[in-house]
Structure 1
Amino acid sequence: MIKPVIALSASFLLAFAAQAAPVTYQVEPSHTFVHFSYKHLGLSTQSQRFNKSQGTVTLDQEAKTGSIDMKVDTRSVSTGFALFDEHIQGKDYFDTAQFPEATFVSKDIQFDGDKPVSAQGDLTIKGITKPVTMTIESFLTMPQHPMLKKPALGADGKITVKRSDFGMPANVPHVGDEVTIRIALEAIAP
């Protein structure tokens, strides 16, 4: 009688450990958008996006820990106008010939209850790395994506920076120095 109880207890512990382990989700590129906005001449808020991003989100909701590792192809910037795309890929701005990638790598994620609410990490743009805080404005996990039949998560994050801190001071103050970066992210577990 003792052996079946031990075997059942061991099975339960293994199942619990498997549930509590960190899960790494792959960013789903067709449902992940990185965009940025800034004031232009005080007249309007301009918004552009990057068309290519990739990365992972690792989450252990039981331990309330996790990490984010995002990469953006800065050559994929899309303003809606090819000439302006070329302009902001130039040396005064993203200098994509020399720095074709921007990254955000988190060091720490803060939780409120079961939900992540912010992530501290390093943002690298144009070869310059600065510590930033990403506010996680919404967050949801689902045990099974309705189409892909795998665990999934989604989140909306926001980071505010000064572009001059990243070697892009051209036209400040006429074009706003403060830039809001927003990430609408969906990711799928293997």
Structure 2
Amino acid sequence: MRLFSSLLIVLLWCVSPVSAGERYKIDPEHSYSSFEYSHWGLSLQRGRFDKNAGFVELDLPGKSGAIGFTIESNSVSTGSELFNTAMRSDSFFDAERYPKISFNSSKLIFDQEQLRQIEGVLTIKDISKNVTIEVTHFACRFMFLYMKQACGANGNTKILRSDFKMGSYAPFVSDEITLYFNVEGIKE
């Protein structure tokens, strides 16, 4: 009976919902950002940023929270060192002069219990623009790997490169790009 009671307590703890105002640290091993653009209308090309950091604060019962996310622009990875060098240059991210890309939320939008959109400010090359991230997946659960609560989300938004002084080679390389965010956070 004691074993059953202990297992029941552990199971209830594992499925417990996120409570008010919990803070999560972005897990850099399971979080990255990527981008997609059209190359001469021939194909969609993709790249990613391998170094991401930040936090998530969630109050699921109150349907509110905050997200702060930074990306090291020098961590861009396209699969080609030639393109990586081009992306780090002043024609694009100018990684030496602007080492960080940031996103800070202003509002989390829920549909019942599901996070659907995140409104906030995206800053690239010290230029800040309002964006809305469409959330395509959101889940929280107890992770036995960490013995802590964790939450994860996937989302995307579209921006114009030219809005951030990165419009080189348009229209051959599309001005509009899609940014993707894959984020997992571990409760602090």
Q: How high is the TM-score relative to the length of structure 2?
A: 0.89
Verify the 8 A CA contact 1:20 1:63 in the aligned structure 2. Answer: no
Tell me which residue corresponds to 1:149: 147
Tell me which residue corresponds to 1:69: 68
Q: Give the counterpart of 2:179 among 178, 181, 187.
A: 181
The percentage of counterpart residues that share the same residue type is 36
CA shift digits 1:148-187 (9 cap, x unpaired): 1100001001011001001011011010011100011111
The gaps in structure 1 that reach 5 residues or longer are: 1-18
CA 1:146 to 1:20, structure 2 compared with 1: closer, same or farther past 3 Å?
closer
Give me the whole-angstrom Cα distance separating, in 2, the residues matched to 1:20 and 1:138.
Answer: 20
Secondary structure, aligned partner of 1:63: coil
Give me the whole-angstrom Cα distance separating, in 1, the residues matched to 2:42 and 2:57.
Answer: 40
Give me the whole-angstrom Cα distance separating, in 1, the residues matched to 2:114 and 2:53.
Answer: 23
Give me the whole-angstrom Cα distance separating, in 1, the residues matched to 2:52 and 2:161.
Answer: 20
Give the CA deviation at 1:21: 2.4
Tell me which residue corresponds to 2:129: 130
Q: Which structure would you say has the larger Rg?
A: 1
Q: How high is the TM-score relative to the length of structure 1?
A: 0.88
Tell me which residue corresponds to 1:99: 98
CA 1:172 to 1:82, structure 2 compared with 1: closer, same or farther past 3 Å?
same
Give me the whole-angstrom Cα distance separating, in 1, the residues matched to 2:56 and 2:97.
Answer: 27
Give me the whole-angstrom Cα distance separating, in 2, the residues matched to 1:20 and 1:149.
Answer: 17
Q: Which runs of 4+ in 1 moved over 2 A?
A: none
Tell me which residue corresponds to 1:31: 30
Secondary structure, aligned partner of 1:66: strand
CA shift digits 1:90-141 (9 cap, x unpaired): 1110011110100010000000011110011000001100000001111001
Give me the whole-angstrom Cα distance separating, in 2, the residues matched to 1:61 and 1:49.
Answer: 30
Tell me which residue corresponds to 1:118: 117
Tell me which residue corresponds to 2:42: 43
The gaps in structure 2 that reach 5 residues or longer are: 1-17
RMSD: 0.9
Report the number of matched residues. 171
Give the CA deviation at 1:82: 1.2
Give the CA deviation at 1:67: 1.1
Give me the whole-angstrom Cα distance separating, in 2, the residues matched to 1:162 and 1:49.
Answer: 17
Give the CA deviation at 1:20: 3.8
Letter in 2 for 1:154: G
Give me the whole-angstrom Cα distance separating, in 1, the residues matched to 2:117 and 2:128.
Answer: 19
